[in-house]
Structure formats: structure tokens, C-alpha cells
Amino acid sequence: MAFISSGYNPKKPMENRLTDLGPRHFAEFYPPVVAKNKGKWLYHEILEPGILVHVAESGDKCYTIRVGGCRFMSVTHIREINEIANKYCDGHLRFTTRNNIEFMTDKEENVKPMKEDLLSRKFAGGSNKFPIGGTGAGITNIVHTQGWIHCHTPATDASGTVKATLDVLYDQFTDMKLPAKLRVSMACCLNMCGAVHCSDIAILGYHRKPPMIDHEYIDKMCEIPLAIAACPTAAIKPTKIEIGGKELKTVSIKDEKCMYCGNCYTMCPSMPLADTEGDGIVLMAGGKISNRRDAPKFSKVVVAFIPNEQPRWPTMTATIKRMVDAYSKDANKYERLGQWAERIGWERFFEKCELEFTHHLIDDFRDPAYYTWRQTTNFKF
């Protein structure tokens, strides 16, 4: 493994340095049918789950096959995607916001062989490489975060919980039988770099124990004031303790003020918080981002905690499945999960989804909490 220089000279970092180039221009990558008809599309139709046609004013058609992808993806897998795009799509493709891959072609005759080709490809372990679906009144790909693959504050794994969930909800990805679309999202800690807080169903990793403190190392490894400043609830204070006759500068944590976010750990490696029993899953439900019919909504916490049951999280997936089935059975056409819950009432939602309502689900976090309590006698028995 000999080092090969790119041309960068560490002794003269500014020599021939290129900065602030920004991204490549999007128009370089448009398929010709997109370049020609941009801004002049008339309508679209879902021909079958995962297969769309967009029709332009010119009469041109763009056929799209949407396949689910793991957002975690190797170059070997990307090259296989390239091979397919070269074969059927003249070397063009795109990714969606929800980590799906879209193969586009203006040639109708390419759709069927491409579909068969995509469906025939399996990973060595047996799973599908390119499931077709994710359109219409169903579930599309679950957006997610890094989890145990690459993050320092996760309370659960992201790729694994998503794989387990999508295996259970696979039919809803490939058919369109739900009352409306249902968006499931996953974030592996409450910092939510995945912004799951407006999803029909959100899977959220959650810690339940305040960080431990490595008293003997903290002053050497951390800028203590930075760790203190990082705490969103001001739960951390500077303090001194005596260990082995030596006085050490350290911090103390007011446990009841800690919200387990791990921000202090980001600043200071001497404050780890991961814990096998403490960590697990929160389920939230009823959010949406679309303005369709009513305003976007936040997801609400409907299950305060499910332990991590890796590798397949059976309690979590069964609970999600129960919610999806109850929604599918009971909601009206076009009704999103949150709209359904509001129509029938949350008391009914818990009943129909067979979820236990516990005190954890009543908001007590700062002012907005009050607005979520019931100030009327209108409720259902």
C-alpha cells in the first residue's frame, strides 16, 4: 500500500489549490428527454407500482422505474446500477430524496426488459437488489441515519432497524393498497439528523441514561467549558473531586435535567452515554410534511420505549405493523395516518392500534406541553 500523491503538496497547501467550486451543474446530467421537456410536463401516471410515465406537452414520454435502495451503498453496487442504466437508460439515472433509485428512459420497449432484469438480481444472501415500488398509496423507502455503522451517539442501529422494518412492510412497498401514502423515517438519536419529526411513522433511537464521567481523564481529554456549554438543558456543572488523594477538575451532571442527547459526548469523549439496557426505540406517528388538505403535522410519541432487540427488533416491527394494519383497515381513501388519528381521536387510535397509553406520552416539556392537553369535555369513551 504505497502512498500515491494526488498532486497535493502538504508543504504548500495553497499551491494550485481549487476551492469553492460548488457542485457540478445539474443540467450536465439530465437525460435528453428531461433536458428537452423541462418545465413543460403535462401530467404523470403510475402505470403499475414503481413504474411511472411522465407526459410532456411535446408528446414525449419519460418512463421511470423506481427501485428501493439502501442509502448505505458500496461502489460495487453503484457500478451495478450503472450497468443497468447503461443498458436501458443511455447512461442516465437519479436518486430520490428518499434514497430510491430512478431509472428513466423515453423508450417504452425498454421498460419490460428492464423491470425483469431488475427483479432478477439478488444479493448473495437472497435479498432483492432492486425492489420495484415506492409509489402511490403505499410505503416508500425509509430514510434513515448512520446508526452503529458510523455514528458516535446512536441509541440503536439505523440500517438494521430499517432493513427489519422494510422486510415486514415489503408488500406495502410493492403494492398500493393503503388509504394514502405512508412515510416511515428513522433517526438513531434524538438529534434527528434524519429529521423524522414529521413522518407518518417515525422510528427514533433513544438513550435513557445520563452520560458516565471519566473523572480521571476528562480534564486531560476535554475542554470542560465546551462540554458544559454543549448541554442544551444546563444539566452539567464544573466541579472538583478527589481520587487517590489527588484533586481533579471534572463535571457533575444533574441527572433529572439530562435529556440524553449526547451533545456533551460530541464535545468530550470522556462522557459516553451508550448503554445496552438504557438504549432503545421510541415510536412516533401521525406526522406529515405535505400541505395537502391540511397543514403539515409533527409526529407524536405513541410508544415511549421498546428495547433494542437486534438483529431484527421483532417487538418494534410488530408494533409498526399493527399501526399500519389498523390504519389500512380503518382510514378513508386519501386520509393520511395523522388525519385518520385526528378524525377518530387519539383515544381511539391507541385502542385500534392496541397500544398501551402510559404517562410518558403526556407532554411535559416546556410551554408547548399545555397546548397538547385536553381542555374540553368532548372525548370518546
Partner 1 sequence: MAKFETPFLDQLETGPWPSFVSDLKQEAESRAKNERNIEYQIPQDCCDDLLGVVELSYKHGRTHWKHGGIVGVFGYGGGVIGRYCDQPEMFPGVAAFHTMRVNQPSGKFYTTKFLEDLCELWERRGSGLTNMHGATGDIIFLGTTTEQLEEVFWELGHNLNQDIGGSGSNLRTPSCCIGQARCEYACFDTQDICHDLTNEYQDELHRPAFPYKFKFKFDGCPNCCVASIARSDLSFIGTWRDDIRIDQKAVKAYIGGEFPPNAGAHAGRDWGPFDIQKEVIDLCPTKCMRYEDGKLEVNTPECTRCMHCINVMPRALRVGNDKGASLLVGAKAPILDGAQMATLLVPFIKIESPYTEIKETVIEPIWDWWMEEGKNRERLGELIKREGFQKVLEVTGFKADPRMIKEPRSNPYVFWKEDEVPGGFKRDINEFRKFHQR
Q: Which is it for strands 51-56 and 236-243: parallel, antiparallel or unpaired?
A: unpaired
Angle at CA of residue 51, ends 176 and 187, nearest 5°: 65
Binding pattern for the stretch 250-289 against partner 1, x by CB under 8 A and - elsewhere: -----------x-x-xx--x----xxx--x---------x
The smaller minimum CB distance to partner 1, of residues 87 and 348, is found at: 87
**Which residues neighbour 120 within 8 Å (Cβ) at sequence distance 6 or greater?**
none
Output phi, psi for 219, to 5 deg: -70, -30
Instruction: Return the residues of window 183-242 that contact partner 1 according to CB under 8 A.
Output: 190-198, 229-230, 232-233
Give the binding range for partner 1 (CB under 8 A) out of 6-14, 107-115, 240-248, 344-352.
6-14
- Which residue from 181, 215, 336, 352 is in contact with partner 1, where contact means CB under 8 A? 181
By the rule CB under 8 A, 151 interacts with partner 1: yes
In angstroms, what is the minimal distance from the CB of 280 to partner 1? Answer: 9
Is the CB of 89 or the CB of 251 nearer to partner 1?
Answer: 89
Nine-digit cell string for 188: 438513531
Sign of CA dihedral 161, 164, 169, 174: positive
Q: What is the largest CA-CA distance in the chain?
A: 84
Distance CA 257, CA 59 (A): 62
Which range, of 48-56, 105-113, 208-216, 348-356, touches partner 1 by CB under 8 A? Answer: 48-56
Instruction: Name which position in 36, 60, 61, 72 contacts partner 1 (CB under 8 A).
Output: 72
Stretch that binds partner 1, among 125-133, 212-220, 241-249, 347-355 (CB under 8 A): 125-133
Q: Does 23 bind partner 1 (CB under 8 A)?
A: yes
Residue in 213, 190, 220 with CA at minimum distance from that of residue 202: 190
Q: How far is CA 206 from CA 118, 222, 253, 277, in A?
A: 37, 25, 19, 11
Position 375 contacts partner 1 (CB under 8 A): no
Residues 303 to 342 in contact with partner 1, rule: CB under 8 A: 308, 310-312, 333-334
